[in-house]
Amino acid sequence: MKSWFRIAAILCLVCLSVPGAFAESVEYQIERMKDNVYRFTAGNYRSVFMVGDSGIFITDPLGKAAAQWLKRELGERFDVPVRYMAYSHNHVDHTMGGEVFADAGVTVLAHQYAAEDLAWTRAPTAMPDVTFEKELRVNLGADYVLLRYYGPNNGRGSVSMRFMPANVIHVVDWVVVGRMPYQNLPGYDIHGMIRSTRELLGEAPFELFIGGHAEAGGRKDVERYLQYLESLYAAVRDGMLEGKDLATLKADIRLPEFSDLKMYEAWLPSNIEGVYQTLIDQSYFNMREDIRPAP
């Protein structure tokens, strides 16, 4: 990430045992990204919070230990309370620890599908108080956050959050800047990822993008991510239409124009596998009579 994004240095290095996706040694960090919008980092995970005149709006808690650390820091650094906590989607590696913030006076928000999944699966976190179908605006005095749902893309009920007037966009998992999508796309809908990213880019321009992983960036970074998704999908689809099996696709597809992305060598074969499996599971490519095995 460019140096001008790094306004705050590392605040704390905590060594503790954290269940789930985090390693045992977790680095916690708070950075002021733009105006009154901050990024909270816990290991490889990111969430965002905005400090308004009348309170604080936070996003994913990122686990109980991370949430406890963040709650202490917010109490020491700011003289306004947390008013809202919004889940980006249903996956527990982002939503765990919600109970730490679910005190009296804190409203928990989520898309209706994320809330439904958290309830059905009995996820060990705070359940949402308020849900929405397409769009939700949350006011914090002169500031506000706009949450939008684009349809399936990653998990259930994954949304974008636009923090205004700073005009910062926060998206978790289905857009990643400067890095490959995660391994074999577990829980992802490749069609939805492409469609949702196109819709996001079709909205009013944003000034800064902050993801749930990897780097922050600008519009060109998100455009390039979309180009990768489209190129990956087309390469796998066209190879399958030619009758190539998975091993052949992994050997043939390189996409060298994206070789600078982090985890390119390690995850490109897995990305190919993820799209391949999606085309079988969701589009039944294995049942198409027009496809013949390659000679």
Decide if pLDDT at 217 tops 70: yes
pLDDT, mean of residues 196-217: 97
Q: What is the pLDDT of residue 80?
A: 95
CA distance 267 to 174: 16
Q: CA-CA distance, 255 to 126, in Å (whole number)?
A: 42
The better pLDDT of the pair 100, 294 is held by 100
Average pLDDT (26-38) is 96
Burial 144-179 (b: 16+ CB within 10 A, else e): bbbbbbbebbbbbbbbbbbbbebebbbbbbbbbbbb
- Cβ neighbours of residue 52 under 8 Å, at least 6 residues apart? 36, 80, 140, 141, 142, 143
Structure tokens at 36: 């009154």
Query: Which runs of consecutive H residues, i.e. helices, occur in 130-263?
Result: 190-202, 219-241, 246-252
List, for residues 119-132, the tens digit of each pLDDT value. 999 999 999 999 99
3-state SS, residue 284: coil
pTM of the model: 0.89
State yes or no: pLDDT of 101 exceeds 70: yes
In a 3-state reduction of DSSP, which class is residue 289? coil
- Render pLDDT for 138-158 as a digit per residue (tens, 0 to 9): 999 999 999 999 999 999 999
- Residue 20's Cβ-side half-sphere holds a number of Cα atoms within 13 Å equal to 22
Looking at the predicted structure, is the pLDDT value of residue 6 above 60? Answer: no
Question: Count H helices, E strands: the chain?
Answer: 7, 14
DSSP 213: S
CATH 3.60.15.10 for the 3-287 domain, yes or no: yes
The band of 26, judged by pLDDT with boundaries at 50, 70 and 90, is confident
8 A C-beta contact, residue 40 and residue 47: yes
Distance CA 236, CA 186 (A): 17
Rounded distance between C-alpha atoms, residue 261 and residue 271, angstroms: 13
Provide the CA 209 distance to its chain's centre, in angstroms: 11
Domain boundaries, the chain: 3-287
- For residues 255-265, b (16+ Cβ closer than 10 Å) or e, as one string? beebeebebbe
- With beta carbons less than 8 A apart as the criterion, state whether 57 and 83 touch: yes
